[in-house]
Amino acid sequence: MANIVLKTIDLTKRFGLFTAVDRLNLEVNEGDVFGFLGPNGAGKTTTMRMIVGLVRPTSGRIEVNGLDTRRRFLEAIAQIGSMVDIPAFYRHLSGRKNLALIAQVAGGVPRSRLDEVIEAVGLQKSAAKKVKTYSHGMLQRLAIAQALLTRPPLLILDEPTTGLDPEGKLEFLHLLRRLARDERITIFISSHLLDEVEEICNRAAIIKEGRLLVCGEVRTLLAEELRTYRLVVSDAARARALLEGQPWVRSVAAEDNRVLVTLRQEDAAKIAPAVVGGGIALEELSPQLKSLRALFMELMKEPAHEQ
Amino acid sequence: MSSKAAPQGPRRPLPALGSMRRVARLTWVEVRKLVSHRLFPATVIITLVVTAGLGLAARALTAQMGRGGAGGPSGFGSGVSFSNYSLWVATSTYGLQVATILLVALGAMAMSMEATGRTLNTVLARPIRRVEFALAKVLALVFASLVVLIAAALAAYVVGGTVQERHARPFRGLDSPPEPSWTFPSYGDVVDPRYPDTVIATRGEVMSEILYGFCLLAVPVLAAVSLGFLLGTLIDSSGLAVGLSVGVFVTLEATKFIPLLQEQVGRFTFNYPMTRIAALMLDAGKGMVPRWDDAVAGVGVSALYVAVGFLVSVVVFCRRDITL
């Protein structure tokens, strides 16, 4: 059984009357690239801030490698490298000097480690330049470099690809994948972009309004109940109208002679009889490989349930 | 007979010792940050230039007196001349008052710049305690204030040293006009102008009193800095924090120009103890024994400001959520 690197137990944060995170229970295993999904304002950043000690939980606990962050904060936080929100550095200093300062704050980081992390993120050419001249992509890389300084077993990244162009995003995701593989780091990454989570994560959780909706293996999440089927029919408009009237259909979309219908997997056998029984010729019926996006969009439509 | 040794695990350093080490390390980081930022070197340079400039102006005034002039510009008052000790004390305290405004800004920026630049997110997500980080900031500001104080004292000392005036001046008008020259240093024993062989106070005695005065001056300077630090901790926008801090400081200082307020509010401002201490240092420069007790109330109020300002800042900072 894999070690649990990060665990939140009934983690709650209230700002006045507003509950940003509500009794959140998460487990991140060693070696996971764990995607933490949710729309803007879902409570992802607040959760991450609580994990790294920037925000105090109202109630609940956080454990990093079994260490309670309230009781053994220094030991627990020493296991984490983080990038929370937009990467921020001292703009009047070079990238290398920023890393040197942060290394000194962290303590116990040998000078040679600076070169290693600079090389790991591919910033060798620009490390001597002042940070104020850096592009957004370079800042993200520098943020990863500072997070890696202490060789942490757990990396926490809050929406790390925000502001990157598609090419930069791919490059960045590739870098994360390489780090997870080569440095054997557990990565906890938040995002509101599903495709990138699908791309690199093996496990994921989705939260909404501070509450956990789903948590598990990405593959399992993809294979869960709701499925989308593609139908090629003689009359798509009629087929759509017909299917929309069925109580077991969740959603229907039609285009040309194709209809996309989403329903519970166990109801799939009802599609063909319903369409054919309605006098519509069914030429093809095939399951679509459902993306996490579809699942995400479905979950976002539902109100957060009581845990 | 054998004695059983208690099983020993790996020795863990005492938490307090580890904390002190981290504070020392963080203070060094904060000092490096200060030095690398433009405002601190600029503050030191401005302090040196202003103090030396004031000193040279006073020296020129004294030279004019020596040549039989009627006095200097009205800003200094007619008939005023300076001994080397009085020039040292007067110009350094004036220079320090100007520098204090910049130190207030520096205090306000210490925390608010980290908030505005969001670097708090990067630094605090490290194995350090908030209280250690805040203490390091305070210690770095104390260091900055002392550097500025020493810069003002040194600049004025160098200029004052070029005034060849060894006479005491408790009896204005009786002594001979001073004779500035570029010989340095000319600080010597304070003698009675009527009986030049009579030493009123030795150089060592005067120096020790004046240096004691400089030590006391650090308290109101730090009080002003703590005001900036407090507002900078409460306000995340560095521009607003600096503007407000300097505004409050200048407003409080302006009360000395309003006679009614001067009496009622004056002694609770930063300027009051500075002026009192400077006056006592001037007395020491004349060979008199300064009555330091007169400065106790003002220094005490300033010390209270320092304690409350820094303590409240640290407590507020440690309790707040960082949601930048």
Q: How far apart are CA B239 and CA B88, in angstroms?
A: 35
Predicted pLDDT at A305: 46
Q: Which residues of A touch B123 (CB under 8 A)?
A: 102, 105
Predicted pLDDT at B167: 44
Question: What type of residue is B93?
Answer: T
Q: Which residues of A touch B28 (CB under 8 A)?
A: 104
> Terminal CA-to-CA distance of chain A, rounded, Å?
26
DSSP classification of residue A161: T
User: How many helices and strands (H and E) does chain B possess?
Assistant: 10, 4
Nearest CA in chain B to A142: B122
B125 with A82: Cβ contact below 8 A? yes
B324 with A85: Cβ contact below 8 A? yes
Helices (H), B235-292: 238-254, 259-264, 271-285
Q: How many domains does chain B have?
A: 1
Preceding amide of B185 cis, omega within 30: yes
Nearest CA in chain B to A150: B126
CA distance B313 to chain A (A): 17
CA distance A243 to chain B (A): 48
Cβ-contact B233, B317 below 8 angstroms: yes
Evaluate whether residue B178 is within a structural domain. Answer: no
Radius of gyration of chain A (CA): 23
Q: Which residues of A touch B33 (CB under 8 A)?
A: 90, 101
A146 with B122: Cβ contact below 8 A? yes
Nearest CA in chain B to A98: B33
Q: pLDDT by residue (tens digit) across A190-201?
A: 987 777 788 889
Q: Which residues of A touch B109 (CB under 8 A)?
A: none
Q: Which residues of A touch B32 (CB under 8 A)?
A: 101
Q: How far apart are CA A98 and CA A128, in angstroms?
A: 10
- Encoding tokens for residue A187? 């990565």
Evaluate whether residue B103 is within a structural domain. Answer: yes
What mean pLDDT do residues A252-257 have?
74
Predicted pLDDT at B253: 82
A85 with B118: Cβ contact below 8 A? yes
Predicted pLDDT at B76: 37
Q: Low-confidence residues of chain B, pLDDT below 50?
A: 1-7, 68-80, 166-177, 180
Query: Which of B38, B126, B322 is closest, CB to CB, to A55?
Result: B322
Nearest CA in chain A to B31: A101
Which residue of B26, B126, B135, B320 is the best one to mutate when testing the A interface, meaning the one whose CB has the most A CBs within 10 A?
B126
Kind and range of the H or E run holding A156: strand A154-158
Predicted pLDDT at A198: 81
- Encoding tokens for residue A120? 């790991």
B32 with A107: Cβ contact below 8 A? no
Evaluate whether residue B7 is within a structural domain. Answer: no
Evaluate whether residue B124 is within a structural domain. Answer: yes
- pTM of the entire structure? 0.81
Q: Which residues of B touch A102 (CB under 8 A)?
A: 122-123, 126
Q: pLDDT by residue (tens digit) across A104-149?
A: 999 889 999 999 999 888 899 999 999 999 998 899 889 989 999 9
A87 with B122: Cβ contact below 8 A? yes
B25 with A80: Cβ contact below 8 A? no
Residue A34 pLDDT level (bands cut at 50, 70, 90): very high
Place of tokens 């029919």: A233
Residues of B in CB contact (< 8 Å) with A are 22, 25-26, 28-29, 32-33, 36-38, 117-129, 321-324
DSSP classification of residue A129: S
B322 with A92: Cβ contact below 8 A? no
B321 with A54: Cβ contact below 8 A? yes
Predicted pLDDT at A286: 87
ipTM over 0.85: no
The size of the A-B interface in CB pairs under 8 A is 79
Evaluate whether residue B3 is within a structural domain. Answer: no
Evaluate whether residue B11 is within a structural domain. Answer: no
How long is chain B?
324
Cβ-contact A61, A10 below 8 angstroms: yes
Evaluate whether residue B145 is within a structural domain. Answer: yes
Kind and range of the H or E run holding B180: strand B179-180
Q: pLDDT by residue (tens digit) across B50-108?
A: 999 998 888 777 666 655 443 333 333 334 456 788 889 999 999 998 999 999 999 99
Range of the domain at B278: 17-166+185-319
Q: Which residues of B touch A56 (CB under 8 A)?
A: 321
A92 with B118: Cβ contact below 8 A? no
Evaluate whether residue B176 is within a structural domain. Answer: no
